[in-house]
C-alpha cells in the first residue's frame, strides 16, 4: 500500500530491544517521512456517539500507533541521533498508579515534559524527547519517555517532585528512570549508548499494529491498548529540517 511505503526503507536494520541482537553498532534509524503533529491513529468513538471534529480530539480513543505516528517517532529519533542528541534516559511513568485518570493522561505527560524542559534550561541545555502512552492489563496506563538532556543533569529526587507537581500521587512503582547504555567508559559508553538507544526506540514502537510490526521486523507489536487523547509526541526541536 502506498500509504505504508515509508515504513519499509531500512526498517529491518533497527536493533531488536527484546532479544539483545546487535547486528552492528551505530546502525542508523531510517529517516522516514515526517509529520508536524502526532495525530490520533485508529480513532473510534469515545462514548458520546459522535466524532465531533477537531475540538473533540482530546476525547478520541486510539488502540494503536498509526503508521504516521510510527514514522514521526522514527524520524524524530533519527534526527536526534544525527544531530548528536542520542537519548540517554528512559523514564517510564505508570501514571495510572499515580491516580491520573485516563482522560487526563495527555495533560499529565505534557506537564512532566514542561517541568523537565525547564530544569534542562536552568542547567544550560535543552530537552529533546519522544514519548508514547500505553495501556497494559497488568500495568494500567503508563508512558515511555526517551530523553536527551544536558550531560551532567541529575534527576534523582526530582522525578518524584515533578509527578506530584503535575497532579499525580507518588508511590512505589510509579516512576523509573533508566540510564541508557549503563555507566561505562566514555568510548565504550558512547558506542553502546547509541545501540541501546536504538533498542529502546524499537521497544516503544510495540504500540503499533501487528502488521506494521511485521513490516518493521519488530519482535513485539500490537500492544498499545486503548488511549484517550494524544498518544505520542516529540519535542519541537526534533522536527527534522
The CATH number of the domain where 73 resides is what? 3.30.70.1910
Residue 120 belongs to a domain = yes
Residues 221-226: contacts with CB under 8 Å, at least 24 apart: 222/64, 223/134, 223/136, 224/62, 224/63, 224/64, 224/65, 224/134, 224/135, 225/63, 225/134, 225/135, 225/136, 225/141, 226/61, 226/62, 226/63, 226/135
pLDDT in tens, 144-178: 999 999 988 999 889 999 999 999 999 999 999 99
CA distance 201 to 186: 22
Q: What is the pTM of this model?
A: 0.76
pLDDT of residue 49: 35
Q: Find the domain containing 126 and state its range.
A: 41-48+56-238
Residue 150 belongs to a domain = yes
Do residues 145 and 90 touch, judged by C-beta distance below 8 A? yes
Q: How far is CA 147 from CA 9, 18, 192, in A?
A: 25, 20, 16
Q: Which residues contact 164 (CB under 8 A, 6 or more apart)?
A: 170
Residue 35 belongs to a domain = no
Residue 190 belongs to a domain = yes
Q: Is pLDDT above 70 for 96? A: yes
Most confident of 66-75, 108-117, 180-189: 108-117
Rounded mean pLDDT of 57-85?
A: 90
pLDDT in tens, 20-61: 333 322 233 333 233 333 333 333 444 433 323 334 467 789
pLDDT of residue 31: 31
Residue 105 belongs to a domain = yes
Number of domains in the chain: 1
Amino acid at each position: 500500500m502506498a500509504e505504508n511505503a515509508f515504513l519499509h526503507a531500512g526498517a529491518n536494520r533497527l536493533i531488536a530491544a527484546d532479544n539483545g541482537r546487535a547486528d552492528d553498532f551505530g546502525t542508523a534509524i531510517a529517516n522516514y517521512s515526517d509529520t508536524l503533529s502526532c495525530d490520533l491513529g485508529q480513532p473510534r468513538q469515545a462514548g458520546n456517539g459522535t466524532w465531533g471534529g477537531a475540538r473533540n480530539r482530546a476525547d478520541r480513543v486510539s488502540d494503536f500507533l498509526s503508521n504516521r505516528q510510527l514514522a514521526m517517532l522514527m524520524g524524530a529519533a533519527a534526527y536526534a541521533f544525527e544531530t548528536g542528541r542520542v537519548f540517554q534516559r528512559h523514564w517510564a511513568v505508570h501514571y495510572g498508579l499515580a491516580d491520573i485518570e485516563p482522560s487526563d493522561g495527555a495533560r499529565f505527560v505534557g506537564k512532566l515534559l514542561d517541568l523537565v524542559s525547564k530544569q534542562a534550561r536552568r542547567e544550560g541545555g535543552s530537552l529533546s524527547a519522544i514519548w508514547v502512552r500505553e495501556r497494559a492489563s497488568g500495568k494500567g496506563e503508563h508512558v515511555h519517555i526517551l530523553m536527551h538532556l544536558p550531560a551532567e543533569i541529575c534527576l534523582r529526587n526530582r522525578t518524584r517532585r515533578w509527578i506530584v507537581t503535575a497532579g499525580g500521587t507518588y508511590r512505589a512503582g510509579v516512576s523509573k528512570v533508566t540510564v541508557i547504555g549503563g555507566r561505562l567508559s566514555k568510548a565504550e559508553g558512547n558506542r553502546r549508548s547509541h545501540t541501546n538507544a536504538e533498542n529502546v526506540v524499537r521497544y516503544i514502537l510495540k504500540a503499533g499494529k501487528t502488521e506494521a510490526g511485521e513490516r518493521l521486523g519488530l519482535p513485539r507489536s500490537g500492544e498499545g491498548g486503548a488511549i484517550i487523547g494524544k498518544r505520542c509526541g516529540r519535542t519541537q526541536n526534533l522536527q527534522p529540517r
